[in-house]
Amino acid sequence: MLEMYKDDIQDRMRRLDLRVSLEFEGTGRFGVTIIGGGMLVLRGYITRATDDIDILEADKRLYGLMELYDMNGRANAYINSFPFNYEDRVRLEWSGKKIDYFTASLEDVVIAKLCGSRDKDWEDLNVVADYIDWSILEKLATDEDELRNIKMSDREYFFFNENYKDFERKYRPCVN
């Protein structure tokens, strides 16, 4: 299993950018949005290694090249786990010669991890709880307009809502 830390992820970002600058000369810029554990490692929220770099959005022409650098373009299947206007909350991490690398907001990634609820997701959630803007997370988790992008059955919504309530009870600071 591959283990990548922040320096490894940044190296792959630079190498992909260089490759794209050679292969797509003069075709404008590309945007790549990083999510999941890779985003948490890049931003310094977690120090554990990740085994791939999950990409939520990228130009389809980049997918084959991204795989060469351990970037998982199949993560775009999780787009239905992200709140409606997540694009408004992305942050530019680094601009290369041809690629602008963005990361999803912490709160959007938390929502997606609450939808998935794997053991590794809960490990990450336990670590990032202190960094969350709880007012943003609450809006994303409870506002119907934000949730309309998330395709959930009634059963899936029930489990997401229970996961959110459990997470909130355990980690949200008390407000006096």
Q: Which has the minimum average pLDDT: 20-34, 43-57, 70-84, 158-172?
A: 70-84
Question: Residue 133 has what pLDDT?
Answer: 97
Cβ neighbours of residue 100 closer than 8 Å, sequence gap 6 or more: 29, 30, 31, 32, 92, 94
The residues that bridge with 91 in the sheet, in sequence order, are 103
pLDDT tens readout for residues 79-107: 888 888 899 999 999 999 999 999 999 99
Indicate whether 127 pLDDT > 90. Answer: yes
Helix (H) or strand (E) segment spanning residue 145: helix 144-147
List of E strands, the chain: 30-35, 53-57, 71-72, 91-95, 99-103
Q: Where does the pLDDT of residue 108 fall: very low under 50, low under 70, confident under 90, or very high at 90 and above? A: very high
Six token digits for residue 70 = 């351990």
> What is the model's pLDDT at position 26?
84
CA-CA-CA-CA torsion for 6, 7, 8, 10, nearest 10 degrees?
90
Burial class (CB in 10 A: 0-12, 13-18, 19+), 158: exposed
Beta partners for 30? 99
In angstroms, the CA 49 to CA 169 distance is: 28
